[in-house]
Structure 1
Amino acid sequence: MLTWSASAALAVAGVLAFAAVGKLRDLDRFADAVAGYRILPDRLVPAGARAVVGAELLGAVLLVVPPTRILGSALATVLFSAFLIGMGSVLRRGMRVSCGCLQTSERVGAGSLTRTGLLLVLAVFAGFGAHVPFASVQLLGSAILAGIVFGVAALVSRLDVHPSAPVVGMRFEIGTDVSAFADGGDRVLFAYISPVCGACRVMLPEFRAVAGRVPVVLVSSGEVGEVRGYLATQGVDLPLVTGPDVFEVNGVPGPPYAVLTDASGVVLAHRGADRSEKLAALLGDVGL
């Protein structure tokens, strides 16, 4: 059984390395994800983001070197435990934020919790057989273990009670007549944001710029005064709709997200909008 611990070490090392490289490619975006958790003070967020990436790279190296595997196991255990605590804090506070886990814009939810929990188990298991040497067959074992982790997490994510996406052709429910926002045009862009979403802060100027081409309405589940105050600090003055269920009723998984409707409120297109390229692609899909 302990021979599988070496496979576990390789699997965890591969995940840590993959995650760290993805974050290094866009460290600012990862820092925004860290800020979205609202755990660290703003001034410590850049240092915290770099510390996480450095720890992931160090953990990966320690795990693949047999004499230091036990140290790598300990470091990975601390990392995944910290990640779980952070995710749990987000969910407990009812926040919808980007996970910042891998090279995706996945929100914190049942899937990310499951994956991180299983990786924590593998990280602990990797330390039990620190004396077991690596063998080529263990590469296959690591692939099997990683496949199980990501497969189970994907299944749990699919079974999550939160809706995964709007449906083109559905009626957009915003609690008021969508035509009131159309300003005589035939399209309205609803941009989902949150004051606790780092990527949303980055995208606010993009949404404001698009308002010159199509009416833009910001949508948030936060309290209206809080959201208005947040927008004022960002220098953004766009129409705002708030409500506790604005995400669930329209099947929006999390901010930042963009939903384009016609003037009657029928969904024409939708897409996660954590990058300007994605927003441009959404508008391009409908010829805007």
Structure 2
Amino acid sequence: MIVAESAYLAVAAVLLVAALGKLRDVRGFAASVAGYRLLPGRLSRPVAVAVIVAEVAAAGLLLAPSLLPPDAFGPDALGSDLRRWGAVVAGLLFAAFLTAMVSVLRRGMSVDCGCFGGRDLVGPGTLARTGLLLALTVTAGLAGTVPFAPVQAPVAAGLVAVVFAAPRLLPGRRPSRGPRPGARFALTGAPEPGAERVLYALVAPGCGLCGVMLPEFAALSGRMEVVLVSAVDGYGGGGLPVVVDPDVFDRNDIPWPPYAVVTGRDGTVLACGGAAEPAELERVLARAETVTTA
């Protein structure tokens, strides 16, 4: 079937476009990787480079049997293996992307997917697009080696158009900006504040950076009241009180964990911001110190 025989070309084109977009701003892509909050910050750049290399390698393996002379590969079976290996690498990439996106949505985070080097928030559309690409990759792997034919180009272009057009029918997501200073921090089940200032540290299970920052939050308990907040159960507090509120991220327009919100005794937000490293947390605390509570 011509659609199955053209799938490899569509997948390879998408991978190359994605890799080129990331190469234009490797640092920005590494920041997107860090935004998923699944890895320690020091691994973000190596993982970003590895993803780009894997995308280019997968595209090359998918295209090689059609672009190079058959005798460059020896037996026909070798060419078929090359395309299947390309499909395997691409499939693993798309499966990893899907897993990370589902994790982000489950944690209620607002994160740039980093898919093509632009600003595209993880949401139903990015999930659908990645799922369609995974399906095309499986199709390409099953089709094996098919000689290039001119008709494959327009069919592959049509497949790429479907991959990018279908998700646009789904609702998008607005970037989250965090609660405004002076607003009330909306939190269900919070203990009665016992101090003039309270640090609410928003964390999530499976968030690598949250685990890294947990000792920093715990160390602050000697300076102020600290409460950990999670949207799902299962986060160990490390001696700190934990509040589970499934809607805390959406109600307060918070983009991702770890995130810090400092409030007064009455729950008014004094300062807030990302807390992925000690310096970021200290900046939030410094801004809160400049606010006089009633």
1:112-162 deviation per Cα after TM superposition (whole angstroms, max 9, x unaligned): 4234225436656877897559xxxxxxx9xxx69x859957x84416xxx
Mark the CA change 1:69 to 1:222 in structure 2 (over 3 Å): closer, same or farther: closer
Q: Which residue of 2 aligns with 1:57?
A: 53
2:110–2:176 contact (8 Å) kept in structure 1: no
Q: TM-score, normalised by structure 2?
A: 0.57
- What is the identity, as a one-letter code, of the residue corresponding to 1:246? V
Q: Which residue of 2 aligns with 1:231?
A: 237
1:83-104 deviation per Cα after TM superposition (whole angstroms, max 9, x unaligned): 436755x589x55579896499
Mark the CA change 1:267 to 1:102 in structure 2 (over 3 Å): closer, same or farther: same
Q: Which residue of 1 aligns with 2:38?
A: 33
Structure 1 segment 124-203 matched on structure 2, within 5 A: 131-132=147-148, 149=164, 156-158=171-173, 164-168=176-180, 169-175=182-188, 180-181=193-194, 183-184=195-196, 187-203=197-213
Which runs of 5 or more structure 1 residues have no equivalent in the other structure? Answer: 36-45, 134-140
2:111–2:255 contact (8 Å) kept in structure 1: no
* Distance apart, 1:75 and its partner CA: 2.5
Q: Which residue of 2 aligns with 1:40?
A: none
Mark the CA change 1:86 to 1:219 in structure 2 (over 3 Å): closer, same or farther: closer
* Distance apart, 1:201 and its partner CA: 0.6
Q: Which residue of 2 aligns with 1:246?
A: 248
Q: Which residue of 2 aligns with 1:43?
A: none
Mark the CA change 1:277 to 1:126 in structure 2 (over 3 Å): closer, same or farther: farther
- What is the identity, as a one-letter code, of the residue corresponding to 1:33? L
1:66 to 49, 64, 68: 64
Structure 1 segment 238-277 matched on structure 2, within 5 A: 238-277=240-279
Q: Which residue of 2 aligns with 1:15?
A: 18
> Over aligned residues, Cα RMSD in angstroms?
5.3
* Distance apart, 1:202 and its partner CA: 0.9
**What is the DSSP-based 3-state SS (H/G/I as helix, E as strand, rest coil) of the residue aligned with 1:158?**
coil
Paired with 1:246 and 1:30, the residues of 2 have a C-alpha distance of 18
**What is the DSSP-based 3-state SS (H/G/I as helix, E as strand, rest coil) of the residue aligned with 2:254?**
coil
Paired with 1:216 and 1:14, the residues of 2 have a C-alpha distance of 45
* Distance apart, 1:214 and its partner CA: 4.1
- What is the identity, as a one-letter code, of the residue corresponding to 2:64? P
2:36–2:104 contact (8 Å) kept in structure 1: no
1:97–1:197 contact (8 Å) kept in structure 2: no
Identity of aligned residues (%): 34
1:178–1:263 contact (8 Å) kept in structure 2: no
Paired with 2:250 and 2:110, the residues of 1 have a C-alpha distance of 17
1:195-221 deviation per Cα after TM superposition (whole angstroms, max 9, x unaligned): 332221111122223444443221123
Matching of residue 76 in structure 1 with residue 81 in structure 2: no
Which runs of 5 or more structure 2 residues have no equivalent in the other structure? Answer: 66-81, 150-156
Paired with 2:209 and 2:121, the residues of 1 have a C-alpha distance of 11
Mark the CA change 1:4 to 1:123 in structure 2 (over 3 Å): closer, same or farther: closer
Paired with 1:177 and 1:126, the residues of 2 have a C-alpha distance of 52
Number of corresponding residues: 251
Paired with 1:260 and 1:24, the residues of 2 have a C-alpha distance of 30
2:201–2:228 contact (8 Å) kept in structure 1: yes
Structure 1 segment 111-122 matched on structure 2, within 5 A: 112-120=126-134
